[in-house]
Structure 1
Amino acid sequence: MRSKRTFDFVHTSRRFLTVSALILLIGLVMLGIKGLNYGIDFSSGTSVDVTISKKLEESKVKSFLDEQKLGDYTLTSAESRESIRFKNALTDVEEKKLKTDFQAQLDPDASFEVFIVDVEIAKEQQRNAIIGLLVASLGIIVYVSIRFEWRFAISAVAALLYDALFVICLFSIFRLEVNLPFILAVLTIIGYSINDTIVIFDRIRENLRFAKIKSREDLDRLVNDSIWQTMARSINTVITVLIAAVCLFVFGGESIKLFSLAMIFGLVSGAYSSIFIASQLWLYLKKKQPIKKAVAVKPQSTP
């Protein structure tokens, strides 16, 4: 059914693609200059989460840590928790002294959760994270190629790469910590984005089955109509999931805040890329295929 909406996604897609390319280019430049701010999951170090029985002044905690002389650290303070990240892997002696001194000087009822990662484990987790992302992308290529066709597969993976790079670049620009929950968020974003893309692709395929394509303008109209016919579902889905992600970010603990933030970035990017990258790239590839024109049959003359 022909959509009555007036906004033309196809004819405006070049502007959106240009803006997307510029944003991604800036992000990649910043990524090349600054790199990623790896957490201890991907770099050697020690994470110490202290559950406290009373609110402590951040300045006192920092003075205490400076006196310990355990190297560079970052401190995140909450109402009942102090999260300390040391860039060096603490020895057993240093860890024991830190706990004893903290209880003696700041809070005798404090309890500790210590997580230490050495260099070899950090490298292995980096490698496993990359392998996981590559396997997920390969699986999507195979699935979409079987379910649809190669043009859909290429377009879908291009959109997924954009979503992943968009989130990675934002984390690089704002120096947000990259850890295992971040990788989990990227994989979740990939899953959401491909779902949104498949909904549009399925409608394109269905409309293509019954449409009479005589020109490239017919293909433009078909893609526009397909996007509009799935727009309500896409908007409702992204808003529902976005509300949950925002609630996790606002009300969740410190350990899942970055996961929630990555989800928020990725959900918005996934909805955008399904419309302005995946479907438009498929249209570009489809237009490269010659349009089959009906052959006129001459009526036979009666003797």
Structure 2
Amino acid sequence: MRYSSKFDFIKSSKYFIYFSILITVLGIGSLIFVGFNYGVDFRAGSNVDIVLSKPVAKDEIDKLLAEKNAGHYTLTAGADRASIRFDDILTDVQEKELKASITEKLDPNASMEINTVDVQMARELQFNALLALSLASLGILIYISFRFEWRFALAAIIALVHDAFIVISVFSIFRLEVNLTFIVAVLTIIGYSINDTIVIFDRIRENLRFAKIKSPADLAALVNRSIWETLTRSINTVVTVIFGALALYIFGSESIRLFSLAILIGLVAGAYSSIFIASPIWLALRSKAKPKSAQKTPATTS
């Protein structure tokens, strides 16, 4: 099969790189000037999850909270569920009054779960989340360096960080809530992204064994051919996972909706970064490597 007449991934990668740079710059700006919209998991406060036995309008819950002078809060309401996130930690008296008001005025069969996070616990959770992401990236770097070579490892880590930061940027720019499920989503994305990248890199390494590389163009053609040979597998994998994540986003509860959204964004980013980010970076690193020249033989005298 001739791959030269097909779509040139390497030549087209610059457009995807430009797009990623744009999102990254916007994300950095958003993180510097706006920051994250932290959920209760990463800041002090109380989270009240309510399971309703009948539909209750969001306006009714808002009205009830206004009557109670509940302070600043964020309300997310669905057909039979509601989640209230308070910036302040509720006291025992406030918790009892809130439960009594909801059962008396909204739904007598409502059940509630209240979780409270203090400042020290929030900081500890932030530190542990960053530590988990750092250790995961370090472990992947060590594995790929041992399994392949440092150029593959460096390209894979750049693509991995790219995928994670695309999700982080989108959540910061659109002020989406960041909580523990967000960290789980980012770790899941890292695992998916590196798996997809490794499949392409393994095919590149296999093709290198039998290829006669005489110029950078030959190397670029080899990378293109390797991508084409793994493209069907990559498409099938990402489409299958996207269907699952999309179903969770549409039909899942409010508590996992942002998790599903983060997975969807990461899947799209990971699908194109393996092809248009990781592979071109490896090609650039490999092209700059000095060719292994034959040992010079001593001159013979006649």
TM-score, length basis structure 2: 0.95
Q: Using the TM superposition, give the Cα deviation of residue 295 of structure 1 relative to its aligned residue in structure 2, in angstroms.
A: 8.3
Match of 1:227 in 2: 227
Equivalence for 2:16: 16
Q: Do the aligned partners of 2:41 and 2:117 also contact (CA within 8 Å) in 1?
A: yes
Partner residue of 1:300?
A: none
Match of 1:27 in 2: 27
Amino acid at match of 2:120: E
After superposition, residues 32-43 of structure 1 pair within 5 angstroms as 32-43=32-43
Unaligned runs of 5+ in 2: 298-302
RMSD: 1.7
Helix, strand or coil: the match of 2:40?
Answer: coil
Count, aligned residues: 298
Match for residue 98 of structure 2?
98
1:4–1:288 distance in 2 versus 1, CA, 3 Å: closer
1:192 is matched with: 192
User: CA–CA distance in 1 between the matches of 2:206 and 2:83?
Assistant: 53
Is 1:158 paired with 2:167? no
CA distance in 2, matches of 1:132, 1:94: 35
Q: Which amino acid aligns with 1:161?
A: V
TM-score, normalising length: structure 1:
0.94
Cα distance in 1 for residues equivalent to 2:199 and 2:52: 48
Gaps of 5+ in 1: 298-303
- What SS does the aligned partner of 2:42 have? coil
Pairwise mapping of residues 1-303 of structure 1 onto structure 2 (< 5 A)? 3=3, 5-292=5-292
Query: Offset of 1:53 from its aligned partner?
Result: 2.0
How far apart, in 1, do the equivalents of 2:146 and 2:71 lie? 53
Instruction: Specify the alignment match of 2:300 in structure 1.
Output: none
Q: Secondary structure at the match of 2:212?
A: coil
CA drift of 1:268 comes to 0.6
The farther-off stretch of 26-35 and 211-220 is 26-35
Q: Secondary structure at the match of 2:32?
A: helix
SS in 2 for 1:41: helix
Query: Bigger shift: 82-91 or 133-142?
Result: 82-91
1:7 partner SS: coil
Q: Deviations over 1:117-153 (max 9, x none)?
A: 1111100000000000000000000000000000000
Question: Within 1, Cα distance between the matches of 2:60 and 2:230?
Answer: 55
Does the 8 Å CA contact 1:10/1:280 hold for their aligned counterparts?
yes
Runs of 4+ in 1 over 3 A off after TM superposition: 292-297
SS in 1 for 2:201: helix
Distance (Å, rounded) in 2 between the aligned partners of 1:240 and 1:105: 45
